Structure 1
Amino acid sequence: MDIGVLLPTGTAQWGPGDGPRELVAFGRRAERLGFSSVFVNDSLVSPRIEALTMLAALAPVTETVTLGTAALLPFLRRPVQTAQTLASLDLLSGGRLTVAVGAGFPGRFGRPLYDLSEVPWARRFARLDETVALWRALWSGADSFHGEILRFDGLPPATAPHRTGGPPVWLGGGTPAAQDRTGRLYDGWLPYPPDPADYASGLLNVRTAAAGAGRPAQDVTPALFVSVRVDEAGEDGARHGMEAYARAVYGMPLSELERIQAVVAGSAEQVHAQLTRFVEAGARHLVVRPGALGLASQRDQLERVAGLIPALTASAAAAAPLVPGAQRGTVA
């Protein structure tokens, strides 16, 4: 069981006097508290520290945590240069990089960003898959790549990443088509469905697609992106804080956000119970986004969630495995 945290790199999550250099200390603190990964998100919708720049700052000052993107938007960057950057990050971190990717969404989180990047909105999912295939080809020493959308001849020698074949690449997306593509092509699945039952059925689809492609089910890491707020006042107090977070970060009420994303709020016991439902549904790498405004409040939430790590790990050990043939008590 892995428990990770999303760094508050967006300035909408900061308070007066907060500064970007505090994010490095935040990542180091997460490692010391026992989190197994530190993730950053990626967008041009609101001011934020650029994702790969943030990971480059964390690579030399951390030792054990996975450094990840949740999720990187490859269409914002040139694909060959991005392969070089990711390989460099994998080297600088000693092989601790995980790259979750996405194609963006309709509305302000999608098409306007494609226009800014001068990349066609049409066939965006095929472009994403080909971009990842190009990265993997470059990381394996290829000097050409011929896809339906991306075609390159005479590619120069690329920087070799720390790990043979490059860092694992996960897909962020919960639609049936995304589940199928995850099983066939990706190393992990990072959705955020509000209902654990939807996570369980989606994971079954991912593993069915993997089996159809001749891949072992355990080759695909089952992860979950979830917003969390732990409050001593219980559910009412936690939801009040999460309401302010949803409106500041997304410009929408909590009731609307929790219809489309996994949101967990309450006392420590309530949060543990709700997260355990996702663990029982098969999630084995939780990427937790603290639902708090201001870096001091974010740090407080970091401490509170860290207190749940032992219990969540025990919940995963007790959960029935989803990989056929595994013995009860093992983590798939």
Structure 2
Amino acid sequence: MTLPVMEPDLDAAVLKNWARVVDDGPFSSLCWGERIAFDNPDSLTLLGAMAAWTDRVQLVTTVIVPQLHDPVMCAKALATGDMLSGGRLTVGIGVGGRHEDYHAVGADPRTQTMRVMAERVDIMKRVWAGEKITESVLPVGPAPVRKGGPGLLVGTIGPKTVRSAAGWADGLAGTTLDLDLAAQGALFDVAREAWAAVGKPAPHLGTSFWFAIGEGDAPRAQVHHHLRRYMNWIPAEFVDAMAATTGWAGPEDELAATLRAFEAIGTDEIHLIPTSSDIDQLRRVADVVSDF
């Protein structure tokens, strides 16, 4: 389950309530995404809060964009979150989809490539391994709980990105806009083949999609409203055109059937993305997920 970090009017109470319900419920992971030029909480600061507010659930960044951070400081922050959570951190990493986030932190949009991202990942892994990146007296700590650092997932929707990440990632933290099972299954096959080609164990196969649970037209309207706000870098008419088929909207039994369909193509985990901060949405999904 993803925290509603892209919703308006958040405060600590909302985020803490969501975190505790997720931690108490049947969910495997608690996730949150990163944006800079938006009013969502900072991902690395939020990691510390999630480590304190939860005890069981895996914490997953979906995703951190390393080009928006100093890689050594990012590695230190993530290792700190890993330590505070007792090793419950998994780091989803992506290149990001918005130039404005790069501009907001003074990063060069020309670095928005898989090659540069992989270079930043390599620096972070060297930090986590205890290697001194500079001629400092001591290496940058703390050491992460898991030797070599947290598990890494690549945020992707395309085969080229999947293949390029096979050398450093442990799996996928992708996104499906239209819930196309055939396309998702084909991408999973690419990942399996790419991981096997570099002699690695089978990848963790994850994807995500927006959801709104309820009856009638209200859930689809909720998804549409969320997309209008979240996708503010896309012309509104384009968002309106895609809103009818983006994400999932409907009642509990249809969500269960959708999750079963993804399970049938080998999906290890779905990171559901809320389109409302209403905790009733979370509780209703928890009832569905408890049957898995």
Match of 2:46 in 1: 54
Paired amino acid for 1:101: I
Displacement of 1:120: 2.6
Indicate conservation of the 8 Å contact 2:154/2:171, yes or no: yes
Aligned pairs for 1:178-327 (under 5 A) are: 178-193=161-176, 194=178, 195-217=180-202, 220-231=203-214, 233-234=215-216, 236-251=217-232, 252=236, 253=239, 255-257=241-243, 263-292=247-276, 295=277, 297=278, 299-311=279-291, 313=292
How many positions carry a matched residue from both structures?
A: 282
Distance of aligned partners of 1:83 and 1:66 in 2 relative to their CA distance in 1, 3 Å threshold: same
**Candidates 11, 14, 17, aligned match of 2:8:** 14
Paired amino acid for 1:184: G
Displacement of 1:51: 0.9
Paired amino acid for 2:121: V
Q: Structure 1 length as normaliser, TM-score? A: 0.80
| SS in structure 2 at match of 1:163 | coil
Match of 1:158 in 2: 140
Match of 1:126 in 2: 115
| SS in structure 1 at match of 2:39 | coil
Displacement of 1:137: 1.2
Deviations for 1:153-198, whole angstroms, at most 9, x for unmatched residues? Answer: 4254121111111101111011121110233320120111221111
Paired amino acid for 1:176: P
Displacement of 1:52: 1.3
Q: Which runs of 4+ in 1 moved over 6 A?
A: none
Indicate conservation of the 8 Å contact 1:188/1:222, yes or no: yes
**RMSD value over aligned CA atoms?**
1.9
Distance in structure 2 (CA, Å) of the matches to 1:288 and 1:172 = 14
Aligned pairs for 1:14-93 (under 5 A) are: 14-15=8-9, 18-93=10-85
Indicate conservation of the 8 Å contact 1:75/1:117, yes or no: no
Which stretch shifts more, 52-61 or 89-98? 52-61
Displacement of 1:272: 1.5
Paired amino acid for 2:207: L
Which stretch shifts more, 21-30 or 65-74? 21-30
Distance in structure 2 (CA, Å) of the matches to 1:205 and 1:177 = 9
Gaps of 5+ in 2: none
Deviations for 1:85-138, whole angstroms, at most 9, x for unmatched residues? Answer: 111110000000011011112xxx2x2322333333335221111111111111
Distance in structure 2 (CA, Å) of the matches to 1:177 and 1:245 = 29
Indicate conservation of the 8 Å contact 2:171/2:206, yes or no: yes
Distance of aligned partners of 1:120 and 1:245 in 2 relative to their CA distance in 1, 3 Å threshold: closer
Identity of aligned residues (%): 27
Gaps of 5+ in 1: 145-152, 314-332
| SS in structure 2 at match of 1:122 | helix
Distance in structure 1 (CA, Å) of the matches to 2:218 and 2:77 = 42
Paired amino acid for 2:253: E
Deviations for 1:215-259, whole angstroms, at most 9, x for unmatched residues? Answer: 121xx211111111110x24x332122222222322444542566
Distance in structure 2 (CA, Å) of the matches to 1:223 and 1:75 = 23
Paired amino acid for 1:278: F
Q: Structure 2 length as normaliser, TM-score? A: 0.90
Indicate conservation of the 8 Å contact 2:26/2:290, yes or no: no
Which stretch shifts more, 87-96 or 272-281? 272-281
**Candidates 151, 154, 168, aligned match of 1:168:** 151
Distance in structure 1 (CA, Å) of the matches to 2:153 and 2:40 = 22
